[in-house]
Amino acid sequence: MAGFADFNKPKMQFQDYANLVLGVLLFLSPWALGYADAEMAARTAWIGGIIIAILSLAAIVNFAEWEEWLNLLVGFAVIVSPAFFGFSQVMNAVAAHYVLGVLVVLVSGWELWTVHHPRPRMM
């Protein structure tokens, strides 16, 4: 018997897989974009990428709404990290953090939207 919790669980987990890829891209961006020698910028990308990837894997294995909220918050943290940690002069790092952070926020927000606004089922 399907309970109320099953009704809100998204059937398609495209967003979780997308966030997993974005987390991996963020983790790899210091080497791919050549800012691995900028210590704070690289460290922020590595930590942010790992957190996003772990939360996405957790959501793939067993969806819980809090994982999406945390990914949303981490995405915002990635966006503001160049200004907060003072590496806004490292343009490749700024671009990676802004683009990937915005994409994580959008994908997480999209999944939260689909959880709270499920499509009507066809009978």
pLDDT tens track for 16-44 = 999 999 999 999 999 999 999 999 999 99
* pTM given for the model: 0.84
Residue 5 has pLDDT above 60, yes or no: no
- The reported pLDDT for the residue numbered 3 is 44
* Count: domains in the chain: 1
Q: CATH number, domain at 85?
A: 1.20.1270
Residue 71, domain extent: 13-116
- The reported pLDDT for the residue numbered 69 is 92
Q: Is residue 123 part of a domain?
A: no
Mean pLDDT, rounded, of the chain: 88
pLDDT (average), residues 74-90: 96
Alpha carbon 3 to chain centroid distance?
28
> Between residues 77 and 118, which one has the greater pLDDT?
77
Q: Is residue 108 part of a domain?
A: yes
Q: Is residue 67 part of a domain?
A: yes
What distance in Å separates the CA atoms of residue 12 and residue 86, rounded to the nearest whole number? 39
Residue 6 has pLDDT above 60, yes or no: no
What distance in Å separates the CA atoms of residue 71 and residue 102, rounded to the nearest whole number? 11
Is the Cα torsion angle 62, 79, 38, 93 positive or negative in sign?
positive
Q: In this structure, what are the phi and psi dihedrals at residue 86, rounded to the nearest 5 degrees? A: 75, 35
